[in-house]
Copies of this chain bind each other. A is one copy, B any other.
Amino acid sequence: MTTLDSMSVEQIRTLTTALESELELQKGNRLSLDLTRGKPSGAQLDLSNGLETALAGNYLAADGTDTRNYGTLRGIPEARELGAQIMDVPAENVICWGNSSLALMYLTAELALERGLWGDARSWQSHETPKVLTPVPGYDRHFTLSERLGLQMLNVELTDTGPDLAALEAAVKDDAGVKAIWCVPKYSNPTGCIYSDETVSAIARLPQLAAADDFVVFWDNAYAVHDFQFPRAPLKSVFDAAREAGTEDHVVIFASTSKITYASAGLGFIAASEKVLSEIEARLNVASVGPDKVNQLRHTRFLAGRLEEHMAAHAELMVPKFELVESVLRQELGELDIASWTTPAGGYFVSLDTRPGLARAVGALAAEVGLAITPPGATYPYGRDPEDRNLRIAPSFASLDDLKAAMQILVICVKLATLRDELTKRG
């Protein structure tokens, strides 16, 4: 085989016909395959079944708190310590709350919009059109959340070392309406890149550069400990960097154990300066008498001293799936030179770029054969991928066999869409 560009029209026609019959054949199999969401597999969930016996009849936290009763808004000490370990911040700057970091992001963004995070007059809604910077491709739920709150999204290109720094700095400098940035600094969703030290430092300095005096860095460290190899890949501490830059009141960090223990029944964490944390706590206090501390204790007992070992067990289940994805993509798309993709060393996703204008066509072809992929466009705000080329592959949930079948269909779809497009172009 050879690259598409060096193929003759005749060769392309032949290959197209072959691919069409292959796809037709697959249709007959009435498949139902799903690569849409970053869900842990059953085997991954099983790794945490020890949670069930972790309490062993002792419901008292390290400080003597009965976890079964009301109170302790910031969470029990050992849970805040676990959050500190994951987020690389001091435990005193952590609140452990709920089962969802996304819920904490919504709460924080809404608070910043409606009242501000600092107990003073600043709030985003005093600006006519508050805007948020969205490195792309990115996480669809950040976009949905921003849109719901009426935050206008401004795309910034995500490179292999994080968002394009020059673009960020230009964006915040002149427009006081630019109020925030969404960051997934490690194994970024969907590309899997890790922000470089320089990027972390530069983002920590953004609130200083910003025209807005209420700029906030949302640091969604969802995959902080979700490495495939150990010792873990390092990530510079944004909290340290912010303290050095004097911007610690403008950086809010999020994490959860959703992809460490149970996706539904884990712990959410938020970290911030004391000033911001106390505003968050005040908001939480209006609407709750405290978090589920029993689950906090269950988690800290279960993970105590063995977080890395536990994540290594996840890695053992993930690595073969990511290797399979990589090998099918390389084998089937590599030589044709019709796509590019990432090869992450952790996290939950592989990002695949087709040639421009083809992602939707690939999604449509896949759907015809019973393969669901993350809707093309979902990795961009408003569902609009300006080049219509980015696809997100989520390999974790499917079995290896299903994943193989799904990937084989996906590459057929990519090839077919590309070849048809090429034929049209060559007239």
Contact = CB atoms under 8 A, between A and B. Distances in A.
Contact of A37 (B48, B70, B148): B70
Contacts of A287: 100, 102-103, 105-107, 145
Given A100-B289, A292-B99, A295-B292, A264 B69 contact: yes
Contact of A263 (B57, B68, B98): B68
Interface residues of A, number: 45
A360 interface: no
A294 interface: yes
Contact of A265 (B40, B71, B148, B295): B295
Interface string A319-347: 00000000000000000000000000000
A39 interface: yes
A103 B99 CA distance: 14
Secondary structure at the A interface, as helix, strand, loop or mixed, is loop
A57 B145 CA distance: 35
Copies of this chain, count: 2
A103 B293 CA distance: 16
A55 interface: yes
A49 interface: yes
A264 B286 contact: no
A44 to B, nearest CB: 9
A66 interface: yes
Given A100-B287, A264-B290, A288-B102, A66 B37 contact: no
A278 interface: no
A262 interface: yes
A45 B70 CA distance: 11
Interface in A269-324: 286-295
A287 to B, nearest CB: 4
Given A287-B103, A289-B102, A291-B264, A57 B68 contact: no
Interface string A24-59: 000000000000010110100100110010010101
Interface of A: 37, 39-40, 42, 45, 48-49, 52, 55, 57, 59, 66-72, 98-100, 102-103, 105-107, 141, 144-145, 148, 258, 262-265, 286-295
5 interchain residue pairs of minimum CB distance: A106-B287, A265-B294, A68-B262, A45-B68, A70-B263
27 contacts: A39-B70, A40-B69, A42-B66, A45-B69, A49-B57, A49-B59, A52-B52, A52-B55, A67-B265, A68-B262, A70-B258, A70-B263, A71-B264, A72-B264, A99-B288, A99-B292, A102-B287, A103-B287, A106-B287, A264-B289, A264-B291, A264-B292, A264-B294, A265-B292, A265-B294, A292-B292, A292-B295
